[in-house]
Amino acid sequence: MADQANEPSQALVRLAAAYGVVPDFWGFDGSHRAVVSSTLIAVLDALGVDASSPERVDVSIAHVEDMPWRRTLPPVVVVRQGRNAHVPVHVPHGDPVTVWLELDAEAGGGRLDLVQADVSVEPRSVDGRLVGRATFTIPTDLPLGWHVMEAAGPSVNARSVVVVTPSTLELPDQLRSGRAWGFMAQLYSVRSRGSWGVGDFADLAELGWLSARECGADFLLVNPLHAAEPAGPMTPSPYLPTTRRFVSPLYIRVEDVRETAYLSAADRALVEWAAEPAMSLDTDAGPIDRDVAWTAKRSALEIVFTAPRSAARQAAFDGFRREQGEGLEDFALWCALAERYEGTTWPAEANDISSDLVDRARVELADRVAFHCGLQWVADSQLADAQRAAVAGGMSIGIMHDLAVGVHAEGADVWALGDVLARGATVGAPPDMYNQQGQNWSQPPWRPAELARVAYRPYRDMLRTVLRHAGAIRIDHVIGLFRLWWIPQGAGAGEGAYVRYDHEALIGILALEAHRAGAIVIGEDLGVFEPWVRDYLTERGILG
């Protein structure tokens, strides 16, 4: 229990609750534990909330209570298909307002006017003006998808997002009749005669095909394939990537890149020479050396990418860049900057994606940006080939991808996504029977309010990439879609607090994107769970 001197005030507890910070919890041993005020203040600070004094707590409470009234529309509304939902719309008191939906093009498109509900709410004085609330009903028969909501009135024009998600994620027809089974493999260790010191996408394709054809396996679960650092020592754990959205080019099979066939004899010899130190490790029983493998592959791929592409191939690459958009361009630019500053400390301005230095780098490093975009294009194509091979071999599911809990604190996602990821706190786990001190995984968590403010797009985009060529996805630490253990910077692993997330939104979007991809979802449900969570996951079609 907290000592009296560090016991949080009622106002601090109220502020914490408004931002999803839980002031107490039940430990693994059944004991009730209170979170001390210094921890609540530090976690709130990581959320961008000033609770440094009683006066600031009062100001922050007033701010969070007024915040919905300052917005014409909520930034996002996530609703299950078939359920009623209401949207609060805020306008100057007495003003009329019209609200409508522009339906998702994948759902057929079109406009749908929303009907105002007969709900009376007292107006509120905000920033010296009287604000009224009108309530509109979202119909139960909306199609699944990402719909745009718009509001217009004499003094307001606003746009938001309505996400309609499946009530439950249905199993594919081929899995409803019985259980499925499969293998798990760490891809980097699955080496063949054609590998360059690490297993690659060609090895994945062969293993998937053989597992199905020779053993009758339904799936092949692999380690997270997220991208690591493009330069310097590569973080060895696949669970601490630089991004969860993009794939590691470490797994590219160089010889399978189509332009390799068009290299001159001299360039082909250079590629073969680059491969030698990495391929010599294929029969080494010692630890996998990712750095040797990546150094060799990067040198070889730089040569391969000098070969001209056919018009069709160039069009495909250009289309991939357009499809992946700003997210890919930012990731590729981060990779180029990581190469530029390899082995040195980045200038402070380089850490700010909106700085003049970064704007100049987009031009100066355009060739390297194109190179790293090209790596993602090739990796995406080879990963698609692996999934096709697994299914062609007879797998009912195919490749099952693993989604890590988070990302490296100094990686591409933290650099590109700004306030959506927290500074000043990392994710971990409270003490349990296996680790009495708790765990700190050194990964910055999503900030719930900021993630909602951007309509969950970074989360959606990450899921779409991981599911793009997957028959299934395994969510590591699925409890993180409900609550995460936040550890303030400088605190011990056990000196944290739980922060709640909008699980209806996160699970719903996961179900929607998996439904669209035709994939199943498995949640790794170890750890301290609240009693209702497993039942909820079952209800939503998330397997355990």
- From first CA to last CA, the distance across the chain in angstroms is 34
Q: Are 235 and 188 in contact (CB under 8 A)?
A: no
Q: Are 516 and 453 in contact (CB under 8 A)?
A: no
Alpha-carbon distance of 196 to 446, in angstroms, equals 36
Written as six digits, the tokens of 134 are: 């009108």
Buried-state track 50-62, b at ≥16 Cβ within 10 A, e below 16: ebeeeeebeebbe
Please name which of 195, 149, 390, 378 lies closest in space to residue 289, comparing C-alpha atoms: 195
Please name which of 32, 31, 47, 41 lies closest in space to residue 6, comparing C-alpha atoms: 41
Close Cβ partners of 138 (under 8 Å, ≥ 6 residues apart):
77, 79, 84, 85, 86, 87, 114, 162
Amino acid found at 536: Y
Domains and CATH numbers, the chain: 4-68 (no CATH), 82-165 (2.60.40)
**Cα Rg, the chain, nearest whole Å:** 25
3 state SS of 15: helix
Q: pLDDT value at position 432? A: 83
Report helix angle 457-467 to 503-517, nearest 10: 30
Please name which of 134, 147, 142, 169 lies closest in space to residue 84, comparing C-alpha atoms: 142
Q: pLDDT value at position 2? A: 43
3 state SS of 489: coil
**Strand blocks (E) in 123-273:** 124-126, 129-138, 145-152, 157-165, 182-185, 219-222
Q: pLDDT value at position 544? A: 86
Q: pLDDT value at position 3? A: 52
Q: Are 399 and 208 in contact (CB under 8 A)?
A: yes
Close Cβ partners of 346 (under 8 Å, ≥ 6 residues apart):
337
Rounded to whole angstroms, the maximal C-alpha distance in the chain is 79
Buried-state track 334-356, b at ≥16 Cβ within 10 A, e below 16: bbbbbbeeeeeeeeeebeeeeee
Q: Which residue has the tokens 């010599």?
A: 280
Buried-state track 429-442, b at ≥16 Cβ within 10 A, e below 16: bbbbeeeeebbbbe
Alpha-carbon distance of 411 to 543, in angstroms, equals 31
Q: Are 486 and 425 in contact (CB under 8 A)?
A: yes
| pLDDT tens for each residue of the chain, 544 residues long | 445 568 999 999 999 999 999 999 988 888 899 999 999 999 999 999 999 999 999 999 999 999 999 999 999 999 999 998 999 999 999 999 999 999 999 888 999 999 999 998 999 999 999 999 999 999 999 999 999 999 999 999 999 999 999 999 998 877 777 889 999 999 999 999 999 999 999 999 999 999 999 999 999 999 999 999 999 899 989 999 999 999 999 999 999 999 999 999 999 999 999 999 999 988 888 899 999 999 999 999 999 999 999 999 999 999 999 999 999 999 999 999 999 999 899 999 999 999 999 999 999 999 999 999 999 999 999 999 999 999 999 999 999 999 999 999 999 999 999 999 999 999 999 988 888 889 999 999 999 999 999 999 999 999 999 999 999 999 999 999 999 999 999 999 999 999 999 999 999 999 999 999 999 999 998 777 888 999 999 999 999 8
Q: pLDDT value at position 172? A: 81
Report helix angle 366-392 to 201-215, nearest 10: 10
